[in-house]
Amino acid sequence: MKIGIGYDVHELTKGRNLIIGGVKIPYEKGLLGHSDADVLIHAIMDAIIGALGLGDIGKHFPDTDNKYKNIDSLLLLDEVYKILKSKGYKIQNLDGVIIAQRPKMAPYIEGMKKNIANILRSSLEDINIKATTEEGLGFTGREEGIASQVVVLLVKE
């Protein structure tokens, strides 16, 4: 068994799409990044890569590489799944939180879980995604950015 943690933050800005968990969420601002800035998927990738002892996403998908410009992070998650599989592991369970003052994530959580479970070949009940505010405090409270934290447990296939 191997456990991993992932954490990511992206800045909220006008003129970008808000994509979280592979779901496009209607909102006045989106997340800024080299990729599509999908903060949840990035935290998931870091948790899996970390559990495998293989560094972090920046090492595997450098933000200096033009081929990752505006890339759909679900495609990167699929690459991470291939690494997971090649090491002989699968997901036991995954638990993630999106930290955002706005917008409400609740209507989009099922869609996110389906995207993640589909790519990681997991059952929906082994993937839990939730959201919280930080009660108006800090950078998420000021709606300057969105954060995500994920814990994953891997087991041998």
Ligand X SMILES: C[C@@]1(CO)OP(=O)(O)OP(=O)(O)OC[C@H]1O
Choosing from 24, 104, 142, 156, the residue that interacts with ligand L45E5XJ5 (CB under 6 A) is: 104
* Residue 133 engages ligand L45E5XJ5 in binding (rule: CB under 6 A): yes
43 binds ligand L45E5XJ5 (CB under 6 A): no
Smaller CB distance to ligand X: residue 33 or 50?
Answer: 33
Shortest distance in whole angstroms from residue 123 CB to ligand L45E5XJ5:
22
Strand stretches in the chain, DSSP E: 2-13, 18-20, 23-25, 30-32, 89-99, 127-132, 145-156
97 assigned binding-site residue: no
1 is in an annotated binding site: no
Amino acid at 68: Y
57 binds, among ligand L45E5XJ5, ligand X, none (CB under 5 to 8 A by kind): ligand X
- CA dist 55 and 44 (Å) reads 13
Q: Interface with ligand L45E5XJ5 by CB under 6 A: which range of 11-19, 43-51, 73-81, 126-134?
A: 126-134
Residue 105 labelled as part of a binding site: yes
User: How is residue 84 written in tokens?
Assistant: 């997971």
Cα 145 to Cα 2: distance, rounded to the nearest angstrom? 30
Sequence-ordered list of residues with C-beta below 8 angstroms from that of 155, at least 6 positions apart, any chain: 1, 89, 90, 92
The residue ranges that bind ligand L45E5XJ5 (CB under 6 A) are: 100, 104-106, 131-133
